[in-house]
Structure 1
Amino acid sequence: MQQQFARFLRAGAMASVVAAVLGTSFTLATSSSHAQSKTQLLVYTALETDAMKLYKDGFEKANPNIEIRWVRDSTGVVTAKLLAEKNNPQADVVVGLAATSLALLGQEGMLLPYEPKGMKELNPAYVDSARPPNWVGMDVWGATVCFNTIEAKKLNLPTPTSWQDLAKPIYKGQIVMPHPASSGTGYLDVTAWLQMFGETNGWKYMDALHQNIAQYTHSGSKPCTMAGTGEFPIGISFEFRGHQVKRSGAPIELIFPKEGLGWDIEASGIMKGTKNLEAAKKLVDWMASKDANQISSNWWAIVAYPGIAKKVEGIPDNYEKLLITQNDFNWSAKNRERILAEWSTRYNAKAEKK
């Protein structure tokens, strides 16, 4: 009897194990099937990491059958990667890349023109002028100088008010700025100076400024962060990072040079040849939506959807009027290779080591 009971227990245990294994296999198969039922979009981006999760969560909540897979790097690196992949594109969509970079991709025939739903609600100044457009803007970012008041006082440095001030000998070795080949912020600075001052005087200005530069960083955020910690008293950066560094308690003043501010647009576009076209369109539709623009307004003083932007501490109310008007994205895109080659020949010796 005891032997029969033992055999019964062993048989029961084996049945439980089998049932558990079968149950687990069924669960895994169901989970795998569910995952496979989602369309995965490979999205190249230069978005600040602070923002990526909110955009992903918002889009996937509205589109539960689509999943974003980000590939993130700085603007210059993402642009170079896309151009290198021209004959074998990998990305489905580009989100949060500079409009100057997207204009270049458009000139290379790499973007699929598309007018997203709701585009007519957006400020046309922040949308590609072609119809249908190659890219649609999300928000504007512009140049800002982060000035550490404590470190400047120690060094007896006056507060600059203009770009020309920063070229004065008193600031020798005290300034950091982004490398234009790596950083979209660096490139918008360079192209703004060339357009504001004219090419001849623009290069003369950068020659003088170069004497005062300690380092060209590969990040648009880093110069302001370095100014905030006091590593250098002056960092040429952009307003979003300046606002964040100031809000963290760093002793910096945000300066908006009186000649005008270079600027660019974070924008989205569909890569030509994507195998997930309908899902790609849905992502670009959503990036143009009021919901997406409300997310953008958490950081940016200017967004593409009118009436959504909020007051950002430290950013002047007339900020939009400070942006230079002579800002031709197509010119900046068309001349990118030439401008970067000339810039590197003149100034690359002070580039941050990678």
Structure 2
Amino acid sequence: MSFLRKTAPVALFGIAALTLASCSSTPAPAATPEESAAALEPATITLYTSEPQEKADELVAAFNEVHPEITVEVFRAGTGDLTTRVATEQASGGIQADVFLAADAGTFEGYAADDLLLKYTPADVDALNPDVVDPEGFYTGTRIIPTVIAYNTGIITEAPESWKDLTDAEYADKIVMPNPDVSGAAAYNAAVWLDDDQLGEKWMTALAENRPVIADSNGPVSQAVATGAQPIGIVVDYLVRELAAQGSPIAVSYPSEGVPYVSQPVGIFADTDEEAASKAFVDFLVSAAGQELAVEQSYLPVRSDVGTPEGAPSMDDIEILSPDLETIRSTQDAAVETFRSLFL
């Protein structure tokens, strides 16, 4: 199946979330926000996340203002390293994490298919963008993170307007992009691009001919663009906003063909020993307070009542590439291998 194209927003915020009760198996009933905030028995949960360490620390601190009785131990790594760790732990006796916050919905679809995730519908789910809520109830998106073209405004006078522009010879040796072996968003993007009728392997091959630098993750990509080491970058948009706000000569272009996005889902592993505490953490992530923090951290939120980051466009102004998740899940490994053969 080819990807659908949306010229409208990802979804109109405020539309009720998909009716979860219609699924063949009904998820656990959601707590109300008031019930979720009630004090729980003291507990310790382990969070595996690809969030930058500083943002993860801020998230845990904000959660502990609501639930001081819950200790959150954080293991932070790139999505590729996290999924490898989960697979290793699964094979050797049991997953050590309670909550997983990382990557794209395709990763969670795979975990759900393998019966690794607990069904849980977060509190206040009707306030969320329904496009990021798993209709079967295994995971929920927590941010909307598009991948875009970043450029150094001190070097690039006319910004690229499309993915195809990046194959022009004028950009040879000037591009930097993340490694899909490390970045879950980059692995997802590879599958999106290869499946898209406007791009595909022909475009990716042409891009490789411009010899882009492959950085480990999105953070080094954004820094390379900001410093001018590589004046063009393929990177998640929130990093560009953060650096621009700090005074760096960096700006963003949303390609005309459309942008892939990840929703940084959160899910609870089925064999958790701390179900109540894990559910409270998930509830906080998508609550108004949790999403206000996401906006403060330069992310586009998954609910409409918390504003948007300064300098961020309306979703109405962004053309979105919206994938069939089963296609992504089934083709992502092959897409990453194609990327390796072309770029690494």
In the alignment, is residue 134 of structure 1 matched against residue 130 of structure 2? no
Could you tell me how far apart the structure 1 residues matched to 2:309 and 2:339 are? 36
Q: Structure 2 CA distance, aligned partners of 1:320 and 1:184?
A: 26
Equivalent pairs, count: 302
Secondary structure at the aligned position of 1:159 is classed as: coil
Query: Cα deviation per residue 1:35-61 (whole Å; 9 max; x = unaligned)?
Result: xx8411111001123321221112122
Q: Deviations over 1:255-297 (max 9, x none)?
A: 1111111101011100111111221122112222111111111
- 1:59 is aligned to 2:63: yes
Higher relative contact order (CA 8 A, sep 6+): 2
Could you report, residue by residue, the CA deviation over 1:296-333 in whole angstroms, capped at 9, with x for unpaired residues?
111345312222132422x323x455242432233222
Q: 1:194 to 1:185 in 2, by over 3 A?
A: same
Q: How far, CA to CA, are the matches of 1:232 and 1:140 in structure 2?
A: 26
Q: Which residue does 1:146 correspond to in 2?
A: 150
Structure showing greater radius of gyration is 1
Q: Counterpart of 2:201?
A: 203
1:214 to 2:217 alignment: no
Quote the RMSD (CA, aligned, Å). 2.0
Where does residue 10 of structure 2 map in the other structure?
none
Rounded Cα–Cα distance in structure 2 between residues aligned with 1:103 and 1:300: 26
Q: 2:85 aligns with which of 62, 73, 81?
A: 81
Matched with 2:117 is 111
Residue 164 of structure 1 is matched in structure 2 by 164
CA contact (8 A) 2:149 2:235 kept: yes
How big is each residue's C-alpha offset from its partner over 1:60-98, in whole Å with a ceiling of 9 and x where there is no partner?
Answer: 221222100000011222122222222321111112443
1:1-354 aligned within 5 A? 38-87=42-91, 88-130=94-136, 133-152=137-156, 158-197=158-197, 201-313=199-311, 315-317=312-314, 319-348=315-344
Q: Go from structure 1 to structure 2 and tell me whether the alpha carbon gap of 1:216 and 1:108 turns closer, same or farther (over 3 Å shift).
A: farther
Give CA-to-partner distance per residue, 1:204-236, whole Å, 9 cap, x none: 111100111332111112212101001111111
CA distance in 1, matches of 2:181, 2:54: 23
1:240 offset after TM fit, Å?
0.6
| Higher fraction of helix | 1
One-letter code aligned to 2:331: N
Q: Which amino acid aligns with 2:313?
A: P
Per the normalisation by structure 2, the TM-score is 0.82
User: Which segment drifts farther, 107-116 or 69-78?
Assistant: 107-116
The change in CA–CA distance for 1:189 and 1:320 in structure 2 (over 3 A counts) is farther
Amino acid at match of 1:159: A
Question: Residue 96 and residue 337 in structure 1: after superposition, are their counterparts in 2 closer, same or farther (change >3 A)?
Answer: closer
C-alpha deviation, 1:244, in angstroms = 1.1
The answer to whether the 8 A contact 1:144-1:255 is kept is: yes
How far apart in 1 are the matches of 2:313 and 2:62?
Answer: 29
Which segment is superposed worse, 335-344 or 249-258? 335-344
d(CA) in 1 for partners of 2:238 and 2:84? 24
SS at match of 1:85: helix
Alpha-carbon distance between aligned partners in 1 of 2:307 and 2:60, rounded to the nearest angstrom: 20
Q: Secondary structure at the match of 1:151?
A: coil
Quote the Cα distance in structure 1 between the aligned partners of 2:293 and 2:309.
14
Residue type of the partner of 1:121? A
> How far off its partner does 1:112 sit?
1.2
CA shift in 2, pair 1:253/1:282, >3 Å: closer
**Residues 47, 97 of structure 1: 8 Å contact kept:** no
1:156-210 Cα deviation digits (max 9, x unpaired):
xx53111000011121111010111211231233233123326xx5111111001
Q: Which moved more, 1:97-106 or 1:206-215?
A: 97-106
- Does the CA contact (< 8 Å) of 1:196 and 1:326 recur in 2? no
How many Å separate the matches in 2 of 1:147 and 1:65? Answer: 45
Conserved 8 A contact 1:97-1:268: no
Amino acid at match of 1:223: V
1:239/1:138 Cα in 2 relative to 1: closer, same or farther (>3 Å)?
same
Q: Between the two proteins, what is the percent identity of the paired residues?
A: 24
Contact 2:211 / 2:343 at 8 angstroms: preserved in 1? no
Q: Gapped runs of 5+ residues in structure 1?
A: 1-36, 349-354
Q: In the TM superposition, what is the alpha-carbon distance from 1:123 to its structure 2 partner? A: 1.5
In the TM superposition, what is the alpha-carbon distance from 1:121 to its structure 2 partner?
Answer: 2.1
